[in-house]
Amino acid sequence: MPVIAAVDRSERASRVVDEAAELAAAFDDTVHVVHALTRSEFLDLGITSAQAEEPKDMNEIREAASDMAEEAITDIGVPYETVGLVGGAAEEVVRYADEQDARYIVVSPKRRSQTGKVLFGSAAQSIILNASVPVLSTIHPDDT
């Protein structure tokens, strides 16, 4: 049963991977470091666009997301794999965790005001509310 480390491209991502590695070591499991690319990230990275003459292969997009997941990994000391997902982070992470029969999901929400949560939502909050497995939320006092 893998431990899923759901990472974004923030400084918090390496902390998520470290926490997932600690859990995985305790249960003799592997870590799956996952990153989901959203439509806006596709556009920002130039991976695809609405006006592209030749759409990118979904495998290329997954590979780019997997490469982004790899950026969050330091020397964790447990077996791991990186996984690129395509779509909304919360939905894709929850779906992936279910498919993999995950033991845990580890996330690190960004601190937001109540108004910010209402206006922008939170992928981590959605994962916590919708996951069918336990979710560990890491929060550091310096997170903003």
The per-residue pLDDT for range 90-133, each reduced to its tens digit, is 999 999 999 999 999 999 887 655 654 443 458 888 999 999 99
Average pLDDT value for the chain: 83
Can you tell me the distance from the alpha carbon of 32 to that of 74, in angstroms, rounded to the nearest whole number? 14
Can you tell me the distance from the alpha carbon of 18 to that of 48, in angstroms, rounded to the nearest whole number? 32
Q: Where are the domains of the chain?
A: 3-137
30 and 3 in contact (C-beta within 8 Å)? yes
State the Cα angle at 75 between 71 and 81, rounded to 5°: 60
CATH of 3-137 given 3.30.70.2660, 3.40.640.10, 3.40.50.620, 1.10.10.60: 3.40.50.620
Q: Which residues, in sequence order, are CB contacts of 122 under 8 Å at separation 6+?
A: 109, 110, 112
Q: What per-residue confidence (pLDDT) applies to 41?
A: 73
pTM, whole model, 2 decimals? Answer: 0.83
Q: Is 138 exposed, middle or buried (0-12, 13-18, 19+ CB in 10 A)?
A: middle
Within 10 angstroms of residue 89's Cβ, the number of other Cβ atoms is: 23
